[in-house]
A and B are shown apart, each in its own frame.
Chain A
Amino acid sequence: MPRFLFWNLNKREIPGFVHNLARQEDADVLILAECRIPPAQLLEQLNADSSDYHYAPGNCGHLVFFTRFNARFLTPLFESHRISIRRLQLPARQPILVAAAHLPSKLNYSDADQVFESVHLAAMIDEVERREGHQRTILLGDLNMNPFESGMVAARGGLHAVMDRRVAARLTRTVQKQKYKFFYNPMWSHLGDSGNSGGTFYFENGEPVCYFWNIFDQVLLRPDLLDGFAHEHVRILTEVHGYSLLEDDGRPDKTMASDHLPVLLELNF
């Protein structure tokens, strides 16, 4: 079953961690955001033991892709500064779309700005789906929004990502007499104390509303792919080869690794 790993490295030069994580999780497709490590250096590290990772070239300034598949199987179809949408065509399997994004940070963008970014991302995915003639799409990335925020859940331009796969399985919802496609967002289940961490990103401030834990790093799936997905197929990773990615207080250890935790998706298609 193909395995997709996404990690925002927070510009940290930690090729050893990336190598160990990719190997530990048998990642077939590795997508990195805020990666300052030159691709060649990271490729050499990833292949330190055996040369099975390939660099999958693209023109997205914020994301880099590596894969254990032939890099030609992962073809860019749409790319911008923060978005990469690729066709993954494996032998004897139906093609799927792998959309990845690193959307702007809350430090620089208002809630309204982020909604507009979501609308743009959803429109690009929709356009590529129309061109490709199917909706077997996954979206991975640091969306810099929580699953419950408007840009994630709203129809009429938003990602329209819902927490319940039975709702998503209805495929569309009609709002103001227009139909809107669903995404299923399994990350809702990972909010709070259900796992080893309360989310993928911790932020604490003195403002009245503070969630402490956030799930900015998310995996979304179109309903057409849900037959090959089970709840346990998405995991927030907190350990690499025996080293915890968390500090003693449970927060991401950003001095040793990244301030974001990696997310793994397994998907049968």
Chain B
Amino acid sequence: MSNPDDLWPENIADANLITPVTILKEQAALLGEKTKQLVTGEVVTQTSGSLFVHYFYIVAPTLNYTFELFQVSHGINFYPLILRHLNTTTQLTSESEFKDKLKEILSSQHTLNVVHSILAQVRS
């Protein structure tokens, strides 16, 4: 029996959306797996007013070294989302656009250089 005083819809708790931070954390974990955990990814989230801001770091745990690769901010609806990378700000309107942009950044020469340099530093 439904409670007449309960004004919430039945599906209020059915959340199966993929959040941007989930996508970021998956990529962060994958970097560690690929480098034997010598270089890992780390996502730190802060809230600022109604905005969520996610910082994506490249980390060398054995050196206690952290490098900010890019940051992402979005409101309660996830998209449009703002991505800041190398002094460039891009607005992304959907999950697929976000993933495409992430792929572009993670496979860029700049990211490769950063990861390779940190790896070399870790091993030296």
Q: Are A40 and B64 in contact (CB under 8 A)?
A: no
A57–B42 Cα gap in the complex (Å)? 15
A47–B34 Cα gap in the complex (Å)? 10
Q: Confirm or deny: A51 has a beta carbon within 8 angstroms of a beta carbon on chain B.
A: yes
Interface residues in chain A, defined as those with a beta carbon under 8 Å from any beta carbon in chain B: 38-41, 43-44, 47-48, 51, 53-57, 71
A55–B35 Cα gap in the complex (Å)? 13
Q: Are B64 and A43 in contact (CB under 8 A)?
A: no
Q: Are B36 and A55 in contact (CB under 8 A)?
A: no
Q: Are B64 and A44 in contact (CB under 8 A)?
A: no
Contacts of B37 in A (CB 8 A): 43, 47, 51, 53-55
Query: How many residues on chain B are close to A (CB under 8 Å)?
Result: 14
Q: Are B33 and A43 in contact (CB under 8 A)?
A: no
Measured CB to CB, the closest approach of chain B to A215, in angstroms, equals 32
Measured CB to CB, the closest approach of chain A to B51, in angstroms, equals 24
Q: Confirm or deny: B114 has a beta carbon within 8 angstroms of a beta carbon on chain A.
A: no
13 contacts between A and B (CB under 8 A): A39-B62, A40-B122, A40-B123, A41-B123, A43-B37, A44-B36, A48-B36, A51-B34, A51-B35, A54-B40, A55-B61, A55-B62, A57-B62
Contacts of A43 in B (CB 8 A): 36-38, 62
Interface residues in chain B, defined as those with a beta carbon under 8 Å from any beta carbon in chain A: 32-38, 40, 61-64, 122-123
A249–B122 Cα gap in the complex (Å)? 41
Contacts of A40 in B (CB 8 A): 38, 62-63, 122-123
Measured CB to CB, the closest approach of chain A to B9, in angstroms, equals 30
Query: Closest 3 A-B residue pairs measured CB to CB?
Result: A47-B36, A39-B62, A51-B33
Pick from A44, A48, A51, A57: contact of B61, CB below 8 A. Answer: A57
A48–B40 Cα gap in the complex (Å)? 16
A56–B38 Cα gap in the complex (Å)? 12
Most buried by B among A39, A44, A51, A57: A51
Contacts of A71 in B (CB 8 A): 61
Contacts of A53 in B (CB 8 A): 37
Closest chain A residue, CB of each to CB of B63: A40
Contacts of A51 in B (CB 8 A): 32-37
15 further A-B contacts with Cβ under 8 Å, apart from A43-B36, A43-B37, A48-B36, are: A39-B62, A40-B38, A40-B122, A43-B62, A44-B36, A44-B38, A44-B123, A47-B36, A51-B36, A54-B40, A55-B37, A55-B62, A56-B61, A57-B64, A71-B61
Contacts of A55 in B (CB 8 A): 37, 61-62
Most buried by B among A39, A40, A48, A56: A40
A44–B35 Cα gap in the complex (Å)? 8
Measured CB to CB, the closest approach of chain A to B85, in angstroms, equals 25
